[in-house]
Structure 1
Amino acid sequence: MIRLFLLILALVAVPLRAQETGGGGAAYVIGGIPVDTAARNTYEARLAAYAIARRKAWPMLWNRLTGMAENSAPRLGDGALQAMVAGIEVEGERFSTTRYIARLGVVFDRARASAYFEGTAGSLHSGPMLLLPIFTDGGTRTLYQTKTPWIAAWARFSEGLSPIDYVLASGSAGDNVLLTAYQTQRGERSLWRNILNRFGSIDVLIAEVRLVRSFPGGPVSAEFIARHGPDATELGRLSLRSTTDGLDAMLDQGVRAIDNIYAQALREGRLVSEPDLTAELEPIISLAPDIAGPAFAGGATIEADIVTPDGKAYAEIEALLRSVPGVSGVTLTSVSLGGTSRVAIRYTDTPEMLRYQLDQKGLRLADTATGVLLRRRVTGDVPVPAPVVIPPPIAVPGAPVPAGAPATPPAGSLPAEAPPATVPQAPVVPPPGDRPRERERERDRRERPPPRPAAPEAGPIDLLDGTQPR
């Protein structure tokens, strides 16, 4: 009867403990702590295991958040540790009447534990890093195209205890187009810059796991590789082995191991982003004139949002824009396939003329609360009237100066830096008899032979005798 009661208590205690870990980022979690205790009964053995897990987890938390050695952690008693711990997670357990064997996770309350890390943990946090978890199973490399166990393991991982600020994609249709396993092998910086700008990140981290199954239903071996940057620079790797039933537990252990590799690289200064990957587009965009403002003499630029459900839709819009008269360039500043992209349009005419030319091509610039939206013309849109082009005024000598025009400076009042005016000299005209061209013409007339007299007109020729009548 006592054994049955203890078994029911163990089954009920685990969900209650798991509920204590809620809070969404309000706790630090240290998992994967092995314990093996023995006592008079299972209940006392479990309590002893919890105490041992708290003592082991505290130095590990200190090392993860400060980068210092575990033996340098402050010495805290069981009462202080129990007050700082919000709960215990049971990742796996086995027990008998006197022995308790388990793998536990300790959940530290962030508010209570933060007092011990003031001035030490803040400098170890990285900027936002885009995480690409690649899952290789059966020779197929998958990223966000399907919900893999590797993505689920990273979703279970608590980022509160890591100095790395991971950014996970949602796996939408647009993400599947941009984020592929092949993309991790491409070093093109311009494309990576657009991807990082889409997710608000400063760099990319590639966490890959390769599964090798001995036989269907048999043991599974996994190789975990941590890479960094567009060139996929390897930072470290490790291998683990588990059975099929323990696949999730092995992947959770691999997540913690890869996070340790990234944290160690951050402490050693190897997790540094390239300067050209973090090029800010805001200074360039902020210089673009408003569509309602006057254009510059040499042209102007307007930034507009466009809806891009796929790559083909953007290609059609770009080709249509380049065919608009007065548009001198089209630049994609932010790509979001499946969402809204941003494009910069350079034009040489006035804003009114740009709107008119776009309307002739079936496009419209619509003002929104967040900027300007470039869309196709729909039924019911009023046609944009052609702007009136006023030619510049022509200056007429002696005409009165219009009001507001700059007055002509008086004669003799020149700027100090202007050179003195020079009076042009009248050309020297030779006398009539001494002009070279007239002398040559006169010599030609004298040396020209007299004209030959014209021959008399011949009469008709008699074709019979060949004589010409007189």
Structure 2
Amino acid sequence: MSAFQLLFLVAAGLLAAGPVRAQPQDAPEPTVPEAGAEAGSAYAVGGIKVDVSAKTPQAARFAAYRIAQRKAWPLLFARLTGKPASSAPPLSDAQLDKVVAGIESQGERFSMTRYMATLGVVFDRLRIADYVGGLAGSLQSAPMLLLPVWTDAGATTIHHQKTPWADAWARFRLNVTPIDYVLAPGKPVDNILLTGWQVRRPVRSTWRTIMARYGARDVLMAEARLVRSWPGGPLRVDFVARHGPDGTALGRFALTTTREDELATMLDQAVMRIDSLYVAALQQGRLSAEPSLALDLAPIEEPALFSEAPATAGQTVDDAVVVGTEVLVATPSAAAFDALSVRLRSLPGVTAVTATSLSLGGSSRLLLSHFGNRQNLAEGLVAKGFSVTDNGELLVLRSAATVDETQG
């Protein structure tokens, strides 16, 4: 999915805007693309038509979401691998719940027993990589946090000030490459976390925190060290492509120029050469991420809530089998939403939390997939510290514990 990570939607228009789980970023300005941009994402599959009948409108809507997920997965597989959709490995509903980040309504109609809509399904690119990565070969890497390390006159800089090396990577971002580069936005917290000292520090606990913040699975360090023969004289830049928390060197080279005004052109050439080193390493299987860097991203196998028979338009779904409850809860920031999602997923019996209407700074609708009935879910929420009000359509949640995390 893309050269640089941009995740996820801000649904200012609620259902029409297409909600998705927000990436961990600095509050109060999370990095989230607008709905129009996300529509072109490699990980969003739209235009899926569903027509479902059930005993209640909520059950029909939830069943339609499940059907849309089933239809979207083969289409996504074909897009990412270049293989026929029919060759997509089968995924259970429980597995799909783990890799779907949100459902976008692109037009819907419903009655008391029927739900008809055109839906878009947005997949979590980090989690779906577990199912597509090995099959896609060198098509695309997992999201890789890129650190453009620039050293000039003995001073090492990554993000705390602008460098010609970071500029070169910014120019490269629109190039087509199988490496999914994630570049930090350069905010104050980036200056604290991503330092020249950190790239030499192999402590996994710190790297896990960094991976979670930037939505990455691994780290790449592109080092450039400028050497001046004398003021105004020839320039030489030594480059090293490194990978992983240990900074394993994948290749190194040097480029020289006699003119200061040719430095930018030389750095552009270097970026392309370093990218080729990473691509070669990906093809050779040397860019495998350590599982411990993203422990919470592995899919969890659970019994499917629906039968695996192919869904058809107008399908009637047994309400006893459809287990889904929508909740309304305040989401003041992206960090609050992330913390809330983790908290809800920890509830016994809850298999997935899907944003159906995300409003950062307001109240969002979340669809909880779960075993048991609505009352059991409400009791579990109360046990987790939530105040629960059932208005008949959905559960309105209020939390005594503050989930808004505005600090890096």
Normalising by structure 1, what TM-score? 0.36
Query: Relative contact order: is structure 1 or structure 2 higher (C-alpha 8 Å, sep ≥ 6)?
Result: 2
